[in-house]
Structure 1
Amino acid sequence: MTEESLRRAVLVEAEELRTLLATDTRLVLLDVRWSLADPDGHRAYSLGHLPGALFVDLERDLSASPSPEAGRHPLPDIEQLQAAARRWGIDDGDPVVVYDDSGGTSAARAWWLLRWGGVADVRILDGGLQAWLAAGGILEDGDVQVAPGDVVLSPGHMPVTDADGVADLPGHGVLLDARAEERYRGDEEPIDRRAGHVPGAVNVPTVRNLREDSRFKSETELAQQYADAGVDARTDVAVYCGSGVTAAHEIAALETIGVHAALYPGSWSQWSADDDRPVATGIERPTS
């Protein structure tokens, strides 16, 4: 695939989405607004969302119950995800677009999970709600009701790893930590029990994938950014973050440059809760 087609397989521009919504093209649009500071994205959704968009609750629909053993946002089982996808009106073969108001950092969780479940055509609105408004898009308020869909999902269509897998990766592959640099270094840890990072991990914060306007950087910029971290299309790569949410955004960024990375769903919330797992602090550089 060309660089342009790689990017278009992951991202959709606001202008293209406006064109699609103005036609009779069948499209499922999902609003995935969420943040640690304000996990109740439904309030913002109710006040204004893209026309026809359904709200997705990241805590309820895109995560299983949290625990120290599994982390703060474990992957839902496939039955839970399928029930949610059908509630959103998704049929087999439907294209899906997901968006948020934070550069795709929460919407990417839905992108990754639906891809993992076997939905082939899922894209993130590049720039999210802000890009839609800048392109002259309108908003609707209130909830949207749709007929249930009949999509059939199956797990395993995106690569996943676990704590043992990431422990073994440094040395023959690259383990990326997508958290903020101060958390990676161990300067502070506002959420999880121990500060620091998985030994051998290289830090590329999720925010570095985005430009100031919350759109993804160009393929050239992203390729250089990840080359500096020791990553190219031949590299065995896994990504983690605090709880497996923003790591999906890093995986999306990597997909736009042809790099396929595994997600460590338990991420730091799982690793740091296990006292048998070692913790490193400071900055680690790529080994190659």
Structure 2
Amino acid sequence: MNAIISASELADDLTGDNPPSVLDVRWQLSVAKAAGEPSFDGRAEYAAGHIPGAVFVDLDRELAATPGTGGRHPLPDLTEFGAAMRGAGVSSGTPVVVYDGGQGWAAARAWWMLRWTGHPDVRVLDGGLPSWPDGLSTDTPEPAEGDFRPRPDAVGLLDPDGAAALARSGVLLDARAGERYRGEVEPIDRVGGHIPGAVSAPTTENVAADGRFLPAEELAARFKALGVSDDSTVGVYCGSGVSGAHEVLALAVAGVPAALYVGSWSEWSSDPSRPVAVGPDPQ
């Protein structure tokens, strides 16, 4: 199953016999938002115009729990997540397409949550809303209640101990910007640096200038150069489990399964007892 879909393919599918449920997950990370100050309002952007039939999903409220010891975007309560998805019209037998404002991170978080909890057919709109060539709607749809019931897969999820172990036994990719990995700057979390043994792999290098993913063969070559082989066990983390989901998506496009450490650096760095590495090398 392809993990991404083009705008032209989505337009065709929406007129087909089994049109997908479409979820708008516009969201934006900012230091102001992390500090609890007003910033980007995805719901207002959605109200101003969205792909016809799309339902808005709030990343902070429906794809994550309240920030705490599990990081800035810990896993949501799965009962509440399932109810939110059913309210958005999501059913197990209906395809789902998710999109955001173009960066792809928020859409990837929705993709990962649905895939990890057992939905068999979820794709991300490659390039997000800017790739949509047709008109937008300001109507708020009222979809029929879906039947999706989350059934999480433990093998796709890492906790702090699992991430530390994978950095030694497999390949743990750090999806944040290189300067945060190296510990040169840290605008949000308690301390800069990276999990010892993790490899720097900024998620921004998985896409072209227009925000669309690089071809699968180029992504595969990139991850191979970072140490991912056919028999590698691969995991990903980022700042708070959002851009890391985008890297898991890029790996899926390249044909590589990977687990996500949802707590990521925001959880890891909050505990002073956990080791921190700095500099350009994994160790």
TM-score range, shorter chain: over 0.9
Instruction: Look up the SS of the partner of 1:17 in the other structure.
Output: helix
- Distance of 2:121 and 2:228 partners within structure 1: 26
1:35 aligns with 2:28: yes
1:275 is matched with which residue: 246, 249, 272? 272
Listed as ranges, the matches of 1:106-125 within 5 Å are: 106-125=106-125
For 1:167, the aligned partner's letter is A
Provide the residue aligned with 1:245 in structure 2.
242
- Deviation string for 1:168-205 (max 9, x for gaps)? 12232111000011111111111001111111111111
Listed as ranges, the matches of 1:20-169 within 5 Å are: 20-37=13-30, 38-67=39-68, 69-133=69-133, 137-156=134-153, 159-169=156-166
- Distance of 2:52 and 2:274 partners within structure 1: 47
1:181 aligns with 2:178: yes
Instruction: Look up the SS of the partner of 1:106 in the other structure.
Output: helix
Aligned residues between the structures: 275
For 1:118, the aligned partner's letter is G
- Distance of 1:39 and 1:70 partners within structure 2: 23
Instruction: Look up the SS of the partner of 2:105 in the other structure.
Output: coil
1:224 is matched with which residue: 221, 226, 230? 221
- Distance of 1:152 and 1:165 partners within structure 2: 26
For 1:56, the aligned partner's letter is V
Q: Kindly state the Cα deviation for residue 125 of structure 1 after the two structures are TM-superposed.
A: 0.5
Structure 2-normalised TM-score?
A: 0.93
- 8 Å Cα contact 2:26/2:46 also seen in 1: yes
Q: Stretches of 4+ moved more than 3 A in 1?
A: none
- Pairwise CA RMSD of aligned residues? 1.5
CA change 1:165–1:157 in 2 (3 A) is closer
- 8 Å Cα contact 1:117/1:157 also seen in 2: no
Q: Kindly state the Cα deviation for residue 143 of structure 1 after the two structures are TM-superposed.
A: 2.4
- Distance of 1:15 and 1:74 partners within structure 2: 34
Structure 1-normalised TM-score?
A: 0.92
Q: Kindly state the Cα deviation for residue 158 of structure 1 after the two structures are TM-superposed.
A: 5.9
- Deviation string for 1:127-181 (max 9, x for gaps)? 1111113xxx211114222222122221117611111111112232111000011
- 8 Å Cα contact 1:11/1:126 also seen in 2: yes
- 8 Å Cα contact 2:220/2:255 also seen in 1: no
CA change 1:60–1:158 in 2 (3 A) is farther
Q: Kindly state the Cα deviation for residue 60 of structure 1 after the two structures are TM-superposed.
A: 0.4
1:213 aligns with 2:210: yes
- 8 Å Cα contact 2:171/2:232 also seen in 1: yes
**Percent pairwise identity:** 51
For 1:122, the aligned partner's letter is V
Return 5+ residue gaps in structure 1 as ranges: 1-7
- 8 Å Cα contact 1:178/1:205 also seen in 2: yes
Return 5+ residue gaps in structure 2 as ranges: 31-38
For 2:11, the aligned partner's letter is R
Identify which range, 39-48 or 269-278, moves more after superposition.
39-48
